[in-house]
Structure 1
Amino acid sequence: MKTLLAKAIPVLAAICCCANLAKPGNAEVWVVGSMEGFAPFNYTVDGQYRGIDVQILNEAAEKINVELEHRPLPWNRALLDFNAGNLDAVFQLAPTRERFEKWNMVGPLRRTKTVYVTLIDSPIEDIRSLNELDGLIVGVVSGFTYEDSFDRHPDIAREMSKDDFTNILKLMLGRSDVIVGGRATLAHIIDDMGLTEKLRFLPTPLVEQERYIAFPRDGDGDDMANRLQGSLSAMHSSGRIREIVQEHFEE
């Protein structure tokens, strides 16, 4: 009996060893916040969180054996939770000097064009400088950063909204003369609302900027940021991020 047991132990040990080698390592989990309902970049369809930025970040994280636990939130809540340490990261962020100083800004994920939208029969033909906003009520989303000069301009009359959908509704109701936002997102919402014949984009964009994901400036945040930056940079170099963007706009 002892002989059989002695012979069996090495066999069992070998089986366990092989099983451990075959078992994939458990992925590290990062809790990541973002603005809910921000199509085509991050939004929920049939219970699944998807979009351009979601796919980019999920693929980048997978390459470094990380799983992202997404927390879609109202934008101001996402920023508050991130600042309070309830989130490992938050996306997508426009670049500002303060954000680069305060956080690890990782990316870019992609570029986006920020534009003006007005009613189809509005007398406003174009806005080429901030001075042309004098006397106009400009619809913006609370907590959003658009462009440094625009954000700091003291004389712009701003009509605050909780999201782009509400911003468009207020424009339709005459609560604002013009609204500002990301072209792809506004185009998506305007199409969904059936307003393509009632609204128009002005020719000159406010700005074209890159978008980022932020991590805290601490030991863990620095490590996460460095690892994800390497993965995102490799995806840019291979052309994968460009492919993802094109795939979504061809859907």
Structure 2
Amino acid sequence: MRHLLLALLLSTTTLPAAQPWRVVGDEQFAPYSFVTDADDTPHGLDVELVDAVLREAGVAYEIRLYPWERVKRMLDRGEVQMAFQFAGTPQRQEQYELVGPLRSGSTVFMTTAKTAISDWQTLDDFAPYVIGQVRGYVYEEHFDRADLARDTSAQNPRQLVSMLLAGRIDIIVGDRVQLQYFVHEQRAQDQVRILPRPLIQMPRFVAFAKGDIERARQFSEALVRLRNAGKLDEIQQRWAP
């Protein structure tokens, strides 16, 4: 019996520890997620929100930020367990187990004085213009499928704003807070304007591989607890402009 107890004790003490979740997000999505020139430490509102939920869930994890196209590939290939921040479109819902929303943001159109458009009622109003958008991003189902002239050469929103300011495109589309962040970065607030009507109020989700129900459940339950306790609002207030 003593030998049996010893064997059981040894077997339990040598079990491998649970592997930490590998969590990835967009490195060029300031102020929501970004890295600085000083180091590759993740910063941003969404980074803090995800960090708080994972700590509440009690799981081991590590967060890293990469270019958006790589983020999607890593999740698709099973190289990571979770990724953020995905738009809640039907396309994404088919691809992944989406959990959230983590937060919501207003998707808007930004332009300059060079264009005559002052607002829009239907997507046909954009027919005379070239609209810039980030390659690989999805925005809103009807807009994504509309027959419009598009420039998708931008690799990230910062580059998109630079292209607008340089006059290479007529209009750009993106998250209001984020576009304003990059405009302020270039001290160009007086050179741009946002059309009054937004495209959509877009919820942002975290994503797990299709079928990864258990991890999705763990994150979802922790997210609900923090939201009900007002902790997520506290984090968002710290990042309010």
What TM-score comes out, normalization by structure 2 length? Answer: 0.87
The answer to whether structure 1 residue 138 and structure 2 residue 117 are counterparts is no
1:162 aligns to 2:148 (yes or no): no
Percent identity among equivalent residues?
A: 31
Structure 2: runs of 5+ lacking an equivalent: 1-16
Q: Closer, same or farther in 2 for the Cα pair 1:121/1:99, shift >3 Å?
A: closer
CA RMSD of aligned residues (A): 1.7
Judge conservation of contact 1:27–1:65 (CA < 8 Å) in 2.
no
Which of 226, 233, 239 is equivalent to 2:217?
Answer: 226
Match for 1:244 among 222, 235, 241? Answer: 235
CA distance in 1, matches of 2:96, 2:124: 32
Contact 1:138 1:180 in 2 (8 A): yes
Q: Structure 2 CA distance, aligned partners of 1:134 and 1:126?
A: 13
Amino acid at match of 2:187: G
- Deviations for 1:167-205, whole angstroms, at most 9, x for unmatched residues? 111112222110000001111111011111111111110
Contact 1:58–1:67, Cα closer than 8 Å, also in 2: no
**Count of residues paired in the alignment:** 223
Residues 1:122 and 2:102 aligned together? no
d(CA) in 2 for partners of 1:86, 1:142: 22
Give the secondary-structure state (helix, strand or coil) at the position aligned to 2:54.
Answer: helix
Amino acid at match of 2:100: G
- Work out which of the residue numbers 63, 72, 82 in structure 1 matches 2:75: 82
Q: How many Å separate the matches in 2 of 1:72 and 1:81?
A: 11
TM-score, normalisation: structure 1:
0.84
Distance of 2:71 and 2:155 partners within structure 1: 13
**Higher mean C-alpha displacement, 97-106 vs 131-140:** 97-106
User: What SS is found at the alignment partner of 1:118?
Assistant: strand
Alignment of 1:209-220 (within 5 A): 209-218=202-211
Q: Conserved in 2, the CA contact under 8 Å of 1:159 and 1:175?
A: no
1:1-251 correspondence runs (5 A)? 29-45=20-36, 46-47=38-39, 48-153=41-146, 155-160=147-152, 161-218=154-211, 221-250=212-241
Report deviation, 1:82: 1.1
In the alignment, the residues of structure 1 paired with residue 50 and residue 167 of structure 2 have an alpha-carbon distance, to the nearest angstrom, of 38
Alpha-carbon distance between aligned partners in 1 of 2:117 and 2:128, rounded to the nearest angstrom: 12
Asked which structure has the greater CA Rg, the reply is 1
| Residue in structure 2 matched with residue 21 of structure 1 by the alignment | none
Q: Runs of at least 4 residues of structure 1 off by over 3 A?
A: none
For 2:150, the aligned partner's letter is R
SS at match of 2:187: coil
Q: CA deviation at 1:28?
A: 5.4
